[in-house]
Amino acid sequence: MDSFAEFHVPSLYIQNKGEKSTNVALRLTRASHRYIIRFTGGCANMEECDAQGLYELFEDSFAYFSGAMLFGGTRMLKISNPKKVIPGVTEIVARLKKICPNSVSLGVIPRTQELKLTDYGLCVATEPDKDCFTVVHPEQDICLVVQISPDHVASWDAEAEECAEIINNLRVFAQWQSLLISYNGGGVTEREIVNTAKRGWPVLLIEGSGRKTDEYARNKKFLEENPCVHVAQKNPDSIRDKLYELGAIERPRIKIVGKNASTA
């Protein structure tokens, strides 16, 4: 076949510590709305009950979003059954792309192990104790793999650090708005919530999603000390209302036809 035109093929960049890709940042600015949403939270350690209804929850909340989306850039598969996708926050963006065609997605992946080519994609991590291996997500626009150097791997925290750098550049140099959305998650998620709040950037915690997100969503002292942190309940109406309030999406303008026709 002469062309990849009929396939979705993400662009892949590999970046060493200290380097910055101009191409990646410029491609994000193709989004029609100057707003970037970073998704963080639970992956392989998320309980099945917390993952239930996860995708529908965000699909029902995000209509009309046309900004940029920043996420972990990976897909988790079962070692015992590689055709089975393990639910996690990194699957949200691919679902939202289908209903938000004007958005742009960027996945950031820290290289924590050797990269390996498999029949199921480019493998970035293997966790036999969890019956899980992680590949580059095939349904994203741009993928950035970060490492210390070709001979030195990075930690999982490098993902959040690189995302914060990208967001900072968009906020400072392009006057974009940003929002960190947290659902479930453990220690890495906790550090990202705290560090984002310290910067004074907006954070939205989904209460009812479990683990560290719930812990901070119910921490009155933390919320009082960080007015940039907001809480939504685990239902589409609550999340959508917060997205409206924080400027991530605009309320739809509905025309009422009749004697008193107006735009609401």
CATH of the domain at 211: 3.40.50.450
> Would residue 3 count as lying in a domain?
no
> Would residue 62 count as lying in a domain?
yes
Say what the pLDDT of residue 31 is.
93
> Would residue 2 count as lying in a domain?
no
Query: For the whole prediction, is pTM greater than 0.85?
Result: yes
In the chain, how many domains are there? 1
- For residue range 182-221, what is the model confidence (pLDDT) as tens digits? 999 999 999 999 999 999 999 999 999 999 999 999 999 9
CA–CA separation, 185 and 45 (whole Å)? 8
> Would residue 4 count as lying in a domain?
no
Map 239-255 to HEC letters: HHHHHHHCCCCCCCCCE
> Would residue 1 count as lying in a domain?
no
- For residue range 9-31, what is the model confidence (pLDDT) as tens digits? 789 999 998 888 878 878 899 99
> Would residue 6 count as lying in a domain?
no
Calculate the alpha carbon distances from 24 to 4, 44, 142 in Å. 21, 28, 7
User: CA quadruple 158, 25, 31, 136: dihedral positive or negative?
Assistant: negative
- For residue range 61-81, what is the model confidence (pLDDT) as tens digits? 998 899 999 999 999 999 999
Q: What domain range is 230 assigned to?
A: 11-263
CA–CA separation, 107 and 139 (whole Å)? 10
> Would residue 73 count as lying in a domain?
yes
- For residue range 148-183, what is the model confidence (pLDDT) as tens digits? 998 888 988 999 999 999 999 999 999 999 999 999
> Would residue 5 count as lying in a domain?
no
